[in-house]
Amino acid sequence: MSAERRPGGGLVIVSGGQTGADRAALDTAIACGVEHGGWCPAGRWSEDGAIAARYQLRETPLAAPAQRTRWNVRDSDATVVFEPPGELGRGTQLTIDHARALRRPLLVLPAADSVDRSARRLVDFVRRSQARVVNVAGPRASQDPSIRARVEAVLRQFLES
């Protein structure tokens, strides 16, 4: 998905559909009437079972989550990563690595930042990078049970600005 192929040029939130940060981003986009999409692994795999059909995700040829991660970075104008309070999980680190390797704009929001600060940083980042397709990534729910609430709060404030 690219900005050139979307009618109207509005914002699109993409993620891979995993529990936690990904699913929170998709649910917030849906609730706020923002277009959403992205790639998910073949079979729509996630840690809590198959990803629901209501999420407008396309399946990669491989079931490996790494392919989904790379393709979401590749097909986005910019990537925002929500850091967990502890160590980065493999998937979250992989997102950062792909963004750097593909030379895509990347914003990492530390867990210690307030919702207000994170939302302001995200607004500035999207404006500076002129991103229309924003990939949202971060830990799974099993790695950070509080991530869903944080992503929802930051994205809601960002989308209302």
Q: Is residue 6 predicted with pLDDT exceeding 80?
A: no
* CA–centroid distance for 68 within its chain: 12
- Give the pLDDT score at 57: 98
Which stretches within 13-64 are classed as H helix?
Answer: 21-31
Q: Which domains does the chain carry?
A: 10-160 (3.40.50.450)
* CA–centroid distance for 7 within its chain: 21
Q: How much is the mean pLDDT over the chain? A: 93
Q: Is residue 8 predicted with pLDDT exceeding 50?
A: no
List pLDDT tens digits, range 93-127: 999 999 999 999 999 999 999 999 999 999 999 99
- Give the pLDDT score at 161: 86
For the chain, report the end-to-end CA distance as a whole number of angstroms: 24
What span, in angstroms and rounded, lies between the C-alpha atoms of 149 and 157? 12
Q: Which amino acid is at 91?
A: G
When pLDDT is averaged across residues 135-160 and rounded to a whole number, the result is 97
List pLDDT tens digits, range 130-141: 999 999 999 999
Per-residue pLDDT band at 4 (split at 50, 70, 90): very low
Q: Which amino acid is at 53?
A: A
Q: Which amino acid is at 142?
A: S
Tokens of 69: 């991660």
- Give the pLDDT score at 7: 38
What span, in angstroms and rounded, lies between the C-alpha atoms of 116 and 104? 24
Helix (H) or strand (E) holding 137: strand 133-137
List pLDDT tens digits, range 69-90: 999 999 999 999 999 998 889 9
- Give the pLDDT score at 135: 98
Q: Is residue 18 predicted with pLDDT exceeding 60?
A: yes
Q: Which amino acid is at 33?
A: G
Do the Cβ atoms of 130 and 4 come closer than 8 Å? no
What span, in angstroms and rounded, lies between the C-alpha atoms of 46 and 3? 27
What span, in angstroms and rounded, lies between the C-alpha atoms of 107 and 79? 6
Three-state secondary structure of 25-36: HHHHHHHCCCEE
- Give the pLDDT score at 79: 98
